[in-house]
Amino acid sequence: MTDIVTVKNLKVIFNEGNEQVYAVNGVDLNLRQGETLALVGESGSGKSVATHALLGLLGKDAVVTADEMLYGETDLLQTSRRQYTHLRGQELGLIFQDPLSGLNPTMRIGRQIGEGLKVYRHVHGRALRQAVFAAIEDVGLADPALIARKYPHELSGGQRQRAMIAMALVMQPKVLIADEPTTALDVTLQAQILALIKAQKAKHDLSVIFITHDLGVVANIADRVAIMYAGKIVEVGTANEIFYHPQHPYTWGLLDAVPSSDDQRDQLFTLPGTPPDLHQPIKGDAFAPRNPYAMPIDFKKEPPLFQVSPTHFVRSWLLDPRTPHYQPPVTIQKRWARFAQLHAEQTNDPVVESQQAGGVPV
C-alpha cells in the first residue's frame, strides 16, 4: 500500500510566556492508503497535538518543525493558510472529541453539515437538502429532515457524535482523523460509533487516524497501532503485534489496564507515577522513572528505534542485544504465547525464542 500521509521528525513547541512546552518531540508517522492507524497514549502524550499540526490547526503560539510532512505529494510545510483551509474542507476530515465544542450551538445541524458543500462544491437548494439528508441517513440517524432542523443541544450525545461524523464525511474526504470520538459516550454508544466509523471507512475507502487513550477500543478497528508517550512514538506495529507481541513496558502497562471478561484481579492495574514535565527537554528515556525494567542507561541516553519485525518497531533499551535476559509480566507472557500460537497457525513455523534483544521472542 502507498502512503497517503508521511511525517518525519515532527516537533511542536508551545510558547507560554517565558516558558516552552515540548509537546511533540520527533514523531515519525505514515498512514497508508485504506488503513486505520490508531494513535494511543495517555492524556498529554501529544496525540492530538501531532495530528492538529498535520491539519494546520495549531495557533500562533505553536512552533511546528519537521523534516518532512506530506499529504500525498503535497508538502504541508509549504502550504498556505488558504490552501490548508481548502484541504481541510475537502480532503482531510476531522471528528472532534467533544461534539458540543465541534458543533456551532447557534446553527441548525443541517446547515452545519451542508456548509462545506455550499462553500467548496457550490451545491444549493434542493440538491443541498438531498445531500444533507443523505449524509444524516448514512450515519444511522432516522428522520433526517427532523435532525437537520435541530440545534446541537436538542440532540443526545450519540446523535451529536453521529452528526459530527456526517459533517466530516459529507465532503467525501480521503483522510479522516477521529480525535477520541468515543470518550464521552457509554459502552453501548462507543461500540455503535466504532462500528459506524469502521463501516464508513469501508464504504468510502477512507484512510483513518484514530486517536484514543484506551487500547481496548481499538482492538477491532485498527490495522496498525502507534503508542505515544511524552511526545514520542515508543512502539508501532500491526494490531496483532501490539496486542499479542508488545515489547515496550509502557505498552505492557496500557494493556494491563484494559479490563477483560476473564479478569480475576481485585482491582484494575494502574501505571505508577505520572508523565514527565514537558517544560524542558528530557534526558534519557522519558518513561524511565515509571519503568520497573529501567536500567542505568535509560536515565542517561534516549533509546533508538529497534526493529522487531518488518512492521514492528520499539523505542526501548530492553531490545538492545546487550541487555541482560529479563522476564516481562505474566500477563504479557500469556500474550506472547498466544502470538506464537497465531504465528505457527499462519506460517506452520514456530516463533523461535532468541536471546538477541534480551530474551524477547523474535
**Three-state secondary structure string covering the chain:** CCEEEEEEEEEEEEEECCEEEEEEEEEEEEEECCCEEEEECCCCCCHHHHHHHHCCCCCCCEEEECCEEEECCEEHHHCCHHHHHHHHHHCEEEECCCHHHHCCCCCCHHHHHHHHHHHHHCCCHHHHHHHHHHHHHHCCCCCHHHHHHCCHHHCCHHHHHHHHHHHHHCCCCCEEEEECCCCCCCHHHHHHHHHHHHHHHHHHCCEEEEEECCHHHHCCCCCEEEEEECCEEEEEEEHHHHHHCCCCHHHHHHHHCCCCCCCCCCCCCCCCCCCCCCCCCCCCCCCHHHCCCCCHHHHCCCCCCEEEECCEEECCHHHCCCCCCCCCCHHHHHHHHHHHHHHHHHHCCCCCCCCHHHHCCC
Asked whether the beta carbons of 299 and 285 are under 8 A apart, the reply is: yes
What average pLDDT does range 330-358 have in this prediction? 71
pLDDT tens across 99-152, in order? 878 899 999 999 999 999 999 999 999 999 999 999 999 999 999 999 999 999
Compute how many other C-beta atoms are within 10 angstroms of the C-beta atom of residue 349: 8
Query: Minimal CA–CA distance to 298: which of 223, 212, 234, 213?
Result: 234
Nearest-angstrom CA–CA distance, 30 and 66 = 13
SS3 161: helix
Instruction: DSSP letter for 165, please.
Output: H
SS3 162: helix
Query: Cell numbers at residue 160, please?
Result: 451529536
The answer for residues whose C-beta is within 8 angstroms of residue 68's C-beta and 6 or more apart is 6, 7, 8, 9, 77
pLDDT tens across 321-339, in order? 999 999 999 999 999 998 9
Question: Is the pLDDT reported for residue 355 higher than 50?
Answer: no
Whole-model pTM: value is 0.90
Nearest-angstrom CA–CA distance, 236 and 228 = 9
Confidence band of 359 (pLDDT split at 50, 70, 90): very low
Instruction: DSSP letter for 55, please.
Output: T
Q: Are strands 62-65 and 3-16 parallel, antiparallel or unpaired?
A: antiparallel
Burial 147-161 (b: 16+ CB within 10 A, else e): bbeeebeebeebbbb
pLDDT tens across 257-299, in order? 887 766 666 666 778 889 999 999 999 999 999 999 999 999 9
* Predicted pLDDT at 342: 80
Q: What Cα–Cα distance (Å) separates residue 179 from each residue in 38, 41, 164, 213?
A: 10, 12, 11, 10
Q: Name the least confident of 84-93, 228-237, 242-251.
A: 84-93
Compute how many other C-beta atoms are within 10 angstroms of the C-beta atom of residue 54: 25
Q: Are strands 68-71 and 19-32 parallel, antiparallel or unpaired?
A: unpaired
* Predicted pLDDT at 28: 96
Burial of 8 (0-12, 13-18, 19+ CB in 10 A): middle
Nearest-angstrom CA–CA distance, 8 and 27 = 6
Q: What Cα–Cα distance (Å) separates residue 263 from each residue in 132, 241, 289?
A: 45, 22, 28
Size of the chain in residues: 362
